[in-house]
Structure 1
Amino acid sequence: MSDRYGGDVLSGDWRRPARGRAVDQAAEPGLVVEEVETGWVGAIVGVEKIGGQQVVRLEDRRGRVRAFPLGPGFLVDGSPVRLVPYVAPQAPRAPVRTASGSYAVAGARARVAAASRIFVEGTHDAELVEKVWGADLRIEGVVVEPLHGVDDLAAALADFGPSGTVRAGVLVDHLVSGTKESRIVSETMRRFGPDRVLIVGHPYVDVWQAIRPDRVGLAAWPVIPKGQDWKAGIATALGLPHTSTQDIGLVWKHLLSRVRTYADLEPSFSGRVEELIDFVTSPEGR
């Protein structure tokens, strides 16, 4: 039998407007919309708050601008929309780099200290390495330990006990041919072997000189006459007090404060530190 009266006229969305129901539309700058009540057509040029109410500003093709309350009452391509605030997509953040130039690992915790270790000659050396490479060393779990001189280097390494899997990297000050330091290094390397110990050095009298002189306001590091205390001579050149141990410590803090990244250091120093880190963090040295 056929249905004489057809379908239920009240079934479905019988209240639906002829143009459809409004959907949310972000008020993105440049979007062309029509305000229903006035018929004003224009491109969105901004959203702002006026008298506690958010309004959208529309510029027509003649350059005239009118403001309307943000919300319903607009058409886009003939379809009703409810304008809502536009949130501009954030540009992807560039990877953060550490002071050493490597990519920072977000949220990473320091590892438990590895067996392999890096030795440096003094506290200042250790502080400089920590400032530039500290983040990398904590990720790798590598400890930097001051030696306070290389005269007893062999004894210190023997006490540490390097092996094929427990490596020691050593950074030596003023490692140039014919010096006491070069003889000590040669003897120590023969004793322990290159698979367990790597000893490298920089040519500077003191690690202070590993900082580029322009970073501390000098054209070049001054030559200090023999017989004169080197650090006191540097302090004099910088115009800083140097009559006590505390004064010298403050001079070092001044120099260290000028170091931001590896770029503030001489390559002949930073390259040696990188070499040691590679040596003690290689798979054989973990």
Structure 2
Amino acid sequence: MARRSRPESAPVPGDVLDPRNDVIAAGPPQRSVTPTDEVVHRATGARGTVEKWHRDWVVLRLRGGSTRRVNNLAGGFSMHGETFSLTGVSRTPTSTAVRRTASGSIAAPDSGAKVARASRLWVEGDHDARLIERVWGDDLRDAAIVVEPLGGIDDLDAAVARFGPGPQARLAVLVDHLVPGTKEWRLTENQRSGASPDVTVVGHPFVDVWQCVRPGAVGITSWPEVPKGEDWKTGICRRLGWGTPQDGWRRILASVDSFSDLDPTLVGAVESALDALIDLT
């Protein structure tokens, strides 16, 4: 005869031997917040509403209007004196619905066309620019930031010198395959060294921005390996039966609806770039 499991019972209040009554062992409570709740990031003291939530990081909208990205750790936040682990932003319906952009930001009210800032976000190619526009387009328009494809970073130092970055004309550069020991790492060394406080170099570890789209979003289990020396995009499309690279790119771009379809390394890199360009306080 199979043994019957004992029914689950509630912890007995005051029973110190019941681990369910051990608050320390249980860890800090988990909770979500609303878009209007003001929280405190305990490690940094940053105080603001939650602009974006990710399991590893959170973007706070500070009281002065600027944003700050902080680590999302267990027990990392507090509100009204209560310490808790932040698990997300609730979507509780209110009289005025909160609209979010594809990047997860709270959408700003439509204020019409704006004059572009002098600051720029540089990317390596057209595909990078279009992918960023698809996810962060609303944020870029609200901040009046222009994304410009470079066509590669072989002459990055010269391009930066021509641009002439300054406090009101900052520059952020998003680089593919930014990994120690690579050509991209060497080509960006001068700009990453902090020679100019108005230049920020960010990147992701993938050979091409296509790989920054999660495989599941495009209906595959993983991105195929392409041998060195073979054109990467052509090799990907051949192995997946996607036709030409143009056909493959249309499929990839159409599969992206929000930041959740992208690898966190790209999301974090773009958020860091926008923080550097927008926060001019």
Residue of structure 2 in register with 1:27 after alignment? none
Displacement of 1:236? 1.8
Q: Matches of 1:212 and 1:268 in 2, distance apart?
A: 11
Q: Matches of 2:148 and 2:94 in 1, distance apart?
A: 42
Displacement of 1:191? 7.4
Q: Is the 8 A contact 2:125 2:149 kept in 1?
A: yes
Displacement of 1:93? 4.7
Q: Does the residue aligned with 1:99 lie in a helix, a strand or coil?
A: coil
Tell me whether 171-180 or 225-234 shows the greater mean CA deviation.
225-234
Q: Matches of 1:210 and 1:229 in 2, distance apart?
A: 18
Runs of at least 5 residues in structure 2 that lack an aligned partner in the other structure: 1-92
Residue of structure 2 in register with 1:268 after alignment? 265
Residue of structure 2 in register with 1:80 after alignment? none
Displacement of 1:272? 0.3
- Give the ranges of 4+ consecutive aligned residues of structure 1 lying more than 6 Å apart after TM superposition: none
Residue of structure 2 in register with 1:119 after alignment? 122
Which of 249, 253, 256 is the aligned partner of 2:253? 256
Residue of structure 1 in register with 2:218 after alignment? 216
1:185 matches 2:188: yes
Displacement of 1:150? 0.6
Residue of structure 2 in register with 1:68 after alignment? none
Q: Matches of 1:180 and 1:224 in 2, distance apart?
A: 18
1:155 matches 2:152: no
Q: Does the residue aligned with 2:188 lie in a helix, a strand or coil?
A: helix
Q: Is the 8 A contact 1:97 1:103 kept in 2?
A: yes
Displacement of 1:238? 2.4
Residue of structure 2 in register with 1:236 after alignment? 238
Letter in 2 for 1:239: G
Residue of structure 2 in register with 1:277 after alignment? 274
1:105 matches 2:108: yes
1:23-34 map, 5 Å: none
1:96 matches 2:99: yes
Q: Matches of 2:117 and 2:109 in 1, distance apart?
A: 21
Displacement of 1:192? 3.8
Letter in 2 for 1:255: I
Q: In percent, how many aligned pairs have the same letter?
A: 49
Runs of at least 5 residues in structure 1 that lack an aligned partner in the other structure: 1-89, 243-247
Q: Matches of 2:117 and 2:258 in 1, distance apart?
A: 25
Which of 169, 173, 179 is the aligned partner of 1:170? 173
Residue of structure 1 in register with 2:73 after alignment? none
Q: 1:123 to 1:252 in 2, by over 3 A?
A: same
TM-score by length of 1: 0.63
Query: Alpha carbon RMSD of aligned pairs, Å?
Result: 1.6
Letter in 2 for 1:250: D
Q: 1:111 to 1:271 in 2, by over 3 A?
A: same
Q: Matches of 1:219 and 1:209 in 2, distance apart?
A: 12
Tell me whether 249-258 or 125-134 shows the greater mean CA deviation.
249-258
Displacement of 1:189? 3.4
